[in-house]
Amino acid sequence: MTSDLSFRRFRELSDPAELREFRTEMEKAGYPAFFAFAEAFREAIKGYADDEATAMLELIRRAREWFPAPGRFSPAWERLWQEFERICAGKNEILAAIPPGEREGEWQVLIDNPYVPQQIACYPGLTFGEAVYLFAYFRLDLAPNEYLRLQRVTNVVTVTGTP
């Protein structure tokens, strides 16, 4: 019998015995199952709305409780729960700062460090939700003198070259 080790199922579980069984099955399944779980968790973080912020933080708290050492599945996940918490904190800050009525249209995220000879990184053509997630994600590792901008595009002219 194959267990359902999806993030969707984890979200639905509340009984400690079922959560223990879920953890045991996840530990048996190893890296591939936890990878799928973590990626679905990340997608949920990307997509949650204002009214789901508290529930998302609670899911992270519960995941930390039941999987306190995600680095056992991969060293890359040693700080997974801290990363998710920090992304949510950054996302929640932006959700609180920009009212829902001002979120329509095209958004972009820019990263620049004017003191180094590298190009500006720009992520254009995003929805508000996509842009807020990227902003919160890039904010995690912002280097000294780098700045990060989240901005709504008001006018766009796009041209493409002809073959």
Beta bridge partners of 54: none
pLDDT of 10: 97
Q: Where in the sequence is the domain holding 23, given as residue range(s)?
A: 1-97
At 2 the pLDDT is 52
pLDDT in tens, the chain (163 residues): 358 999 999 999 999 999 999 999 999 999 999 999 999 999 999 999 999 999 999 999 999 999 999 999 999 999 999 999 999 999 999 999 999 999 999 999 999 988 888 888 999 999 999 999 999 999 999 988 999 999 999 988 888 898 8
Q: Are residues 93 and 163 in the same domain?
A: no
Q: Tell me the pTM.
A: 0.89
Same domain, 50 and 115: no
Q: What count of residues does the chain have?
A: 163
Is there a single domain that holds both residue 123 and residue 155?
Answer: yes
The two structure tokens encoding residue 122: 């720009």
Counting the structural domains of the chain, the total is 2
Instruction: Say if residue 80 is in the same domain as residue 124.
Output: no
Supply 77's token pair: 């996940």
CA distance linking residue 4 with residue 81, whole number of Å? 22
Q: At what angle do helices 31-47 and 53-66 cross, to 10 degrees?
A: 160
With tokens 């009212």, the residue in question is: 99
| Same domain? 37 vs 20 | yes
Residue 102 three-state SS: helix
The Cα 93–Cα 90 span in angstroms is 5
Q: Looking at the structure, tell me whether residues 83 and 8 fall in a common domain.
A: yes
Residue that finishes a domain, picked among 39, 67, 97:
97
Q: Do 55 and 125 belong to one domain?
A: no
Q: Are residues 130 and 105 in the same domain?
A: yes
Picking from 73, 97, 121, the residue at the C-terminal end of a domain is 97
Please identify, among 54, 79, 97, the residue that sits at the C-terminal boundary of a domain.
Answer: 97
Q: How high is the pLDDT of residue 66?
A: 96
Are 42 and 113 in the same domain? no
* In a shared domain, residues 85 and 106: no
At 157, the amino acid letter reads V
Collect all residues with Cβ–Cβ distance below 8 Å to 114 and sequence separation of at least 6.
145
Domain match, 8 and 61 both: yes
Q: Measure the CA–CA gap between 3 and 122, rounded to whole angstroms.
A: 42
Do residue 112 and residue 82 come from a single domain? no
